[in-house]
């Protein structure tokens, strides 16, 4: 059992607040898919999925088949879209009642072959449309081949078409985003006409929900917004931070003037200095770029600088002027601004800060 003082707290009240906020932005008939890939953006996918089952969510999505299998083994019943399934895992995917995104003729033909051999009846699949992101997906030129491939099988059933917006958060890319939406509509309308079907359509991510409400189609996909981040300071201020990373002071060391701390003696005391030793390091997700005065933690609401080089399992902080003792709580982050500050120092984004939190860090639902 992991009783480490280092813990990532997952705030259920924040989750419910964020869900209510985004549900208020979509029409009553619009379905909601929540993306919980990468351990639910670094939190706890199983715990999050259990919460979502009680929050009138229609779908959840993960990146890979093994993520979906873990949810099924935890008795999660919601429909699960696998965003990037691999052909090697198709049989496992079927065995666990997971729904694949088929994004190329190669993946589609392989899945049809397996569904035929297993005599599946209208097994649910999703088709990814490449509307301009140019990662996965079918292009307009594939409509004819798609039509001929799908006309002659009853073993699978298209549940949805979807695409992904490349720059929905950017006011400078509104024209491009509208072109993506138009192309997605054109391709899916053609497929519907050719195949005499009408699956769900979805293209909006978090920023899309905020900036392009007219393109809700039948469903939207909520990702980073669910965890407390909008596409602007204003939108983020309307959300609540879901993940709070905390630890405790293991020991307080007193350095004499001229004494050094940590690897390569990167911190040398200018005068007598108290430093705190924390049981958290880069193996837990604290990036080494935060070393030696670049990053901060928080004790009793005071901003406390990280000193020396962040180690695999240990981080050191400068306690000069901070009233505290061994065993006191230390906040690594418990607000979106803390996470955004860490991201800025690391020249990255909030997503990476969250998903970098190691699985060895204890998770706790609060």
Give catalytic residues, as residue numbers.
37, 263
The 3-state DSSP class for residue 123 equals: strand
Helix (H) or strand (E) holding 62: strand 59-62
CB 50 within 8 Å of CB 71: no
Q: Distance (Å, rounded) from C-alpha 9 to C-alpha 6?
A: 10
**Residue 240, CA atoms < 13 Å, CB-side half-sphere:** 13
CA nearest neighbour of 125 among 81, 91, 89, 87: 81
CA nearest neighbour of 224 among 55, 352, 359: 352
Is 90 buried (19+), middle (13-18) or exposed (0-12) by CB count in 10 A?
A: buried
Q: Distance (Å, rounded) from C-alpha 300 to C-alpha 331?
A: 9
Q: Distance (Å, rounded) from C-alpha 144 to C-alpha 113?
A: 19
Helix (H) or strand (E) holding 95: helix 90-95
- Contacts (Cβ under 8 Å, ≥6 apart) of 280: 6, 247, 286, 313, 314, 315, 332, 361
CA dihedral of residues 311, 315, 321, 327 (deg, nearest 10): -140
Is 46 buried (19+), middle (13-18) or exposed (0-12) by CB count in 10 A?
A: middle
Helix (H) or strand (E) holding 339: helix 336-345
């Amino acid at each position: 059992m992991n009783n480490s003082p280092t813990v990532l707290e997952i705030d259920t009240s924040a989750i419910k607040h964020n869900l209510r906020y985004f549900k208020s932005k979509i029409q009553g008939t619009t379905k909601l898919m929540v993306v919980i890939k990468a351990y639910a953006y670094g939190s706890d996918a199983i715990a999050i999925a259990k919460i979502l089952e009680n929050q009138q969510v229609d779908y959840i999505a993960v990146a890979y088949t093994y993520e979906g299998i873990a949810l099924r083994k935890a008795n999660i019943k919601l429909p699960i879209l696998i965003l990037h399934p691999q052909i090697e895992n198709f049989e496992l995917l079927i065995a666990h009642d997971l729904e694949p995104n088929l994004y190329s003729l190669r993946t589609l033909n392989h899945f049809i072959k397996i569904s035929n051999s297993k005599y599946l009846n209208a097994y649910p699949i999703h088709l990814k449309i490449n509307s301009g992101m140019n990662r996965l997906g079918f292009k307009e030129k594939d409509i004819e081949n798609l039509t001929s491939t799908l006309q002659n099988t009853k073993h699978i059933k298209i549940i949805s078409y979807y695409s992904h917006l490349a720059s929905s958060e950017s006011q400078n890319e509104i024209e491009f985003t509208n072109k993506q939406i138009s192309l997605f509509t054109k391709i899916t309308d053609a497929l519907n006409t050719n195949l005499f079907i009408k699956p769900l359509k979805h293209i909006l991510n978090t920023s899309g929900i905020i900036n392009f409400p007219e393109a809700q189609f039948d469903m939207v996909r909520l990702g980073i917004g669910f965890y407390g981040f909008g596409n602007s300071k204003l939108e983020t201020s309307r959300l609540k931070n879901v993940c709070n990373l905390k630890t405790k002071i293991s020991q307080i060391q007193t350095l004499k003037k001229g004494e050094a701390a940590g690897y390569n003696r990167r911190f040398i005391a200018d005068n007598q200095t108290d430093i705190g030793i924390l049981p958290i390091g880069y193996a837990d997700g604290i990036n080494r770029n935060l070393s030696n005065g670049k990053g901060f933690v928080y004790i009793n609401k005071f901003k406390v600088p990280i000193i020396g080089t962040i180690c695999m399992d240990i981080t050191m902080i400068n306690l000069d002027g901070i009233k505290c003792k061994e065993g006191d709580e230390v906040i690594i982050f418990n607000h979106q601004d803390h996470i955004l500050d860490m991201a800025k120092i690391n020249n990255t984004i909030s997503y990476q800060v969250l998903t970098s939190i190691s699985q060895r860090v204890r998770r706790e639902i609060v």
